[in-house]
Structure 1
Amino acid sequence: MMFDPGDRARIRDELLDAARADADITGAALVGSAARGAEDRWSDIDLVLQLDRGAHEPTVVERWTAALRDRHGIADTLDVFAAGDVRYRVFLLPTSLQIDVSFWPHDLFRATEEGFALQFGTAAAPTRAPDPEVRRMIGMGWLYALHARSALARGKVWQAAMMLDDLRDEIVALQCLRAGVNPWHGRDVDRLDAASLRLLEQARADSLRPDELERSKRALLALFHDEVRAHDTALADALSPALSALTE
């Protein structure tokens, strides 16, 4: 059975109570939609924990994992490391509720994104996560386009479709970055202007037919070239012959 908002609120309160009672935890904050006052039916729990200076991080992580497993059951976990090797352990409960708990070294505990609701403890001065690198995004874009062309030529329609999806993702991230909205993981793509969204929609392939994938490739390359030009005119000029060759 899927979780409901009441379940989520109760579990979040349990986690905060557990953090206050844990001698290895000296601070906690909520981030994400709860901290921004933007929760909806589908929101997860995002909890940031500050480790005591003497805490052994792996031991604390495994103790918290065991407690969650005993209390609510766990379908699976995923560890993601970011912000200087801070561990984010992502829990998937059997109810499909996602719980993200990050374990921060004492002196690194701070806000790194919009929305940081400190529950207890003392946070360092906030920092902002760096935006993705435009040149790398552009490089990945033309690389995906190259592989889409070769996949189509070899009759590998599924690979071609996947490469075109990846190309579109880079275009979306570049557009979001230019629009000043979150470029990560499509979180703010729906905030792009209607004209941009319409062109992205039109550039999607509606089947795995080779001619339809070819049409999508051409449309996406046009959008990609325009987006490169918006970020770096000289690079767009340098890429023009190669991108044109990809449509032949």
Structure 2
Amino acid sequence: MFSAGERDSIRERLLGLAEEDLAVVGAAITGSHALDGSDRWSDIDLVFGIEGPLESAMRRWTDLLHRDFAAVHHWDLPSGSAVYRVFLLPGLLEVDIGFVPAAEFGPHGPTWRTVFGQPLPAKEDPSPARRTLAGLGWHHALHAWTCIQRHRWWQAEQWIAALRGQVLALACLRLGHPTSHAKGAHLLPTEVTAPLNATLVRALDEAELTRALSAATAALITEVALADAALAARLAATLSDLRDDANRVVNLHTGC
């Protein structure tokens, strides 16, 4: 496992190399390091503003990461005109480098610290709409139920977990915490998270998956009701078939 000192040394080496690269007209530290909120396990997050074709700069930096930093693997996460290339280094160190056209180099949120260059004025990424998060919730519930009917246990488990993620995101949105990738979940109060323990799947069989789905669906409706009681009532009425099916399956397996 990498040490904090090794990680910081690699980050400074990369920034030094960026200053020497004529195609890199701006560089910024993003993620937790930008706000001095990093810890022992934080990775490296950088953004480079690139003058000229992104592809040639990315190819050059990829060769450098593999040659001089012994990168084990890399993959891409496109975002608009930018590409975030994600590297795995020895010692389990992740290095994320965003390659952005020079004309678009600038922050999209608070986790940004310019190292050099002239960034554009900050633009806030819009929060995910509550309507969308609720919609993803009922979508995931419906697909989990369908997978259970088809006896696709692993796929059903995946959809139930995704449904739980939307409940967490809705709670984070309501309370003003980060919503993506459960980044704000640890900030939620126990009264919000404790009921979600019942949504965890403990075995891959029809009765257990149906039980967990019923609990996750109830949690979704409860969370939606805190912001939109009318929508929650409509969802509860429509998704009642899932709860009725859950009761039927549980009763069948328990002999009640």
Q: What TM-score do the two structures reach when normalised by structure 1?
A: 0.92
1:235 to 221, 231, 234: 231
Q: How far 1:221 moved relative to its partner? A: 1.1
Aligned residue type for 1:123: P
State the shift of 1:222 in Å.
1.0
1:21 has 2:17 as partner: no
Q: Determine whether 1:62 maps to 2:59.
A: yes
* Aligned partner of 1:101 among 92, 97, 101: 97
- RMSD over aligned Cα atoms: 1.6
Amino acid of the structure 1 residue aligned with 2:15: L
Where structure 2 has 5 or more consecutive residues not aligned to the other structure, the ranges are 245-256
Q: Distance in 2 between matches of 1:150 and 1:59?
A: 46
User: 1:188: Cα distance to partner?
Assistant: 1.2
| Distance apart, 1:57 and its partner CA | 1.2
- Alignment-derived partner of residue 11 in structure 2: 12
Deviation string 1:189-221 (CA, Å, 9 cap, x unpaired) is 111011111111233232224322222122111
Residue of structure 2 in register with 1:206 after alignment: 202
Query: In the alignment, is residue 124 of structure 1 matched against residue 123 of structure 2?
Result: no
CA distance in 2, matches of 1:197, 1:172: 8
Q: CA deviation at 1:70?
A: 0.8
Equivalent residues in 2 for 1:45-56, closer than 5 Å: 45-52=44-51, 55-56=52-53
Aligned to 1:165: 161
Residue aligned with 2:182, SS: coil
Give the counterpart of 1:76 among 73, 77, 86: 73
Q: Deviations over 1:116-172 (max 9, x none)?
A: 211111111101112123222222211221222233233332222222111111111
Q: Match of 2:67, as an amino acid?
A: D
Hey, which bits of structure 1, 4+ residues long, moved more than 6 A?
Answer: none
Q: Partner amino acid for 1:34?
A: H
Identity %: 35
Ranges in structure 1 where 5+ consecutive residues have no aligned partner: none
Deviation for aligned residue 1:227: 1.8
**Following TM superposition, by how much is the alpha carbon of 1:42 offset from its aligned partner in structure 2, in angstroms?**
1.2
The residue that corresponds to 1:137 in the other structure is: 133
**Which residue of the other structure, out of 148, 157, 180, is the alignment partner of 1:152?**
148
Contact 2:172 2:178 in 1 (8 A): yes
The residue type paired with residue 195 of structure 1 is E
